[in-house]
Amino acid sequence: MLDRILIIEDDGTLRVTLQDFLTKQGFDVRSADTGEMGLALAQQQPFDLALVDLRLPDISGLDVIARLAESGEDPVMVTMTAYPEVRTAVAALKSGAYDYINKPFDLEDLRGVVARALEVRKLRREVAWRRAQADGQATMEMVGVSPAFLNLVATTQRIAAAARVPVLILGESGTGKEHVAQAIHARSPRAGGPWVTVNCSALPEGLLEAEMFGHEKGAFTDARQARKGLLELADGGTLFLDEIGDLSLALQPKLLRAIETQTFRRIGSQKETRVDVRFVAATHRNLAGMVAQGTFRQDLFYRLNVGTIEVPPLRERREDIMALAEYFLARFAPTIGSGQASLSDEVRRCLIAYRWPGNIRELRNVLERALILCDGPTIERAQLPHEIVDAAPQLAGSVAIHAAVKSGSDLTLAAAERRHIQQVLDHCGGNKTHAAELLGITRLTLRNRLGAVGLSEEE
């Protein structure tokens, strides 16, 4: 990812010399000979550094610096000035410029100024990211010990390293897809860049387009001034498209073009704006099925489906339930409860037995509620919702089976298996599909096991 530099200098010879020199240093350089032209370039695409001459033919360099600072893009600015104008350069520093360099200057001296300025830019981004983490805006609730979780972490790390590859994160609601997306950003070379989120299901089509791509002044009735979209704000970082399956068919080709070309147009503009953004999308929907139904574009699906991560539901990583529970207790008890909290053995059995249709989000909400209702340091069964308590007989039945085996009533494996299958079927009211799910086998395998242990389907 090349650093972008904007040169605003009316001296044609110096402008060309600077552009050639910095381009050879490996920078993406644009130049303008007037202040207004430079500001127009800055509107088309963001820059990391601006070299601004203080004496321009149309507006003063101080005005250019002030307007660049107000744009919200926050480029690092260095002024270029003749020796008698040092006082003006100091005024520029007070207006927001990082440094100044006196004309005439040696190109090697300029290289040093540019290197220091870009390092400041990098540090600013990193500080902003660390502050966002401290404020809880990028909390990564990735906790677990199960093989499924460890595989998820390994896949996330591999995909994070490929900083330009689009990513599609699939999984049920509440499984932590956004936390996986944040982990991809934090562990990638873009970690110092912006992290921007857009929820594709939260806004109507027209508002979502304006939010994502931005608009020019007068583009529609309420567009009283130009506004950058989230795509521009994510330049140099990651744009997270949450619930991509809800994006309208009308917007899908525009998004596809932005992903493929890294360019787009604001609403009401004829100018192409170039960005450098990694696209990470997530959905709980079956996008392949939507493609077959014609409700999601096949080309967009294939473009997103380069780095795919499937986040397993909590019921498929039961070893992580207690690890997550302890994590949430440690996080919320100091503010909600008495400072410390623990789970009774019965509560632990209930949490492990439950299927968690709402996944990690449901577990978190259940524990927050339990902390509010709990009077002492230990959360008891009474503080759990009834649907979780009702799941406990499944585990209790399994414990009873093991006790019966230990008592010597029948020590054969077939008898133990028969009793266990019968207990699960009783718990499911004879529903064999549900019983097969709980046993972790297919409906056909259950039928075969019933015959093997001497149980008929009617029984």
Amino acid in the structure at residue 287: L
DSSP secondary structure, 239-261, as one string: EEEETGGGS-TTTHHHHHHHHHH
Amino acid in the structure at residue 4: R
Same domain, residue pair 158 and 302 = yes
Same domain, residue pair 161 and 189 = yes
Domain count, the chain: 4
pLDDT score, position 83: 61
Residue 395 has pLDDT above 50, yes or no: no
What is the CB neighbour count within 10 angstroms for residue 328?
Answer: 21
pLDDT score, position 398: 47
DSSP secondary structure, 297-326, as one string: -HHHHHHHTTEEEEPPPGGG-GGGHHHHHH
pLDDT score, position 359: 94
High-pLDDT (> 70) share of the chain, % = 86
pLDDT score, position 409: 55
pTM for the whole structure? 0.61
Same domain, residue pair 184 and 54 = no
Range of the domain at 419: 392-452
- Is the omega angle on the peptide bond into residue 385 within 30 degrees of 0, that is, cis? no
Better-predicted residue by pLDDT, 437 or 214: 214
Cβ atoms of 115 and 101 within 8 Å: the answer is no
CATH (domain of 248): 3.40.50.300
In-domain check, residue 439 = yes
Same domain, residue pair 41 and 153 = no
Mean pLDDT on 31-39: 93
Band of pLDDT at residue 72, cut at 50, 70 and 90 = low
**310 φ/ψ sector (left φ>0, alpha ψ -120 to 50, else beta):** beta
- Looking at 263, 287, 312, the residue that finishes a domain is 312
Residue 2 has pLDDT above 50, yes or no: yes
pLDDT score, position 313: 94
Same domain, residue pair 127 and 158 = no
Smallest CA-to-CA distance from 71 within 34, 40, 98, 94 is with: 40
Better-predicted residue by pLDDT, 41 or 448: 41
Which residues fall within 8 angstroms of residue 323, CB to CB, at 6 or more apart?
Answer: 143, 144, 145
Band of pLDDT at residue 130, cut at 50, 70 and 90 = low
The residue to which tokens 């032209």 are assigned: 37
Same domain, residue pair 174 and 222 = yes
High-pLDDT (> 90) share of the chain, % = 39
pLDDT score, position 366: 94
- Looking at 312, 330, 351, the residue that finishes a domain is 312
The residue to which tokens 């968690």 are assigned: 356
In-domain check, residue 139 = no
pLDDT tens readout for residues 147-194:
889 899 989 989 998 878 999 999 999 999 999 999 999 888 888 889
d(CA 218, CA 234): 24
Same domain, residue pair 218 and 86 = no
pLDDT score, position 73: 57
- Tokens representing 361? 């989000």
Band of pLDDT at residue 439, cut at 50, 70 and 90 = confident
pLDDT score, position 410: 57
CATH (domain of 13): 3.40.50.2300
Same domain, residue pair 385 and 401 = no
d(CA 351, CA 345): 10
Residue 428 has pLDDT above 60, yes or no: yes
- Looking at 369, 389, 409, the residue that finishes a domain is 389
Band of pLDDT at residue 6, cut at 50, 70 and 90 = very high
The residue to which tokens 């070379």 are assigned: 189
Same domain, residue pair 320 and 305 = no
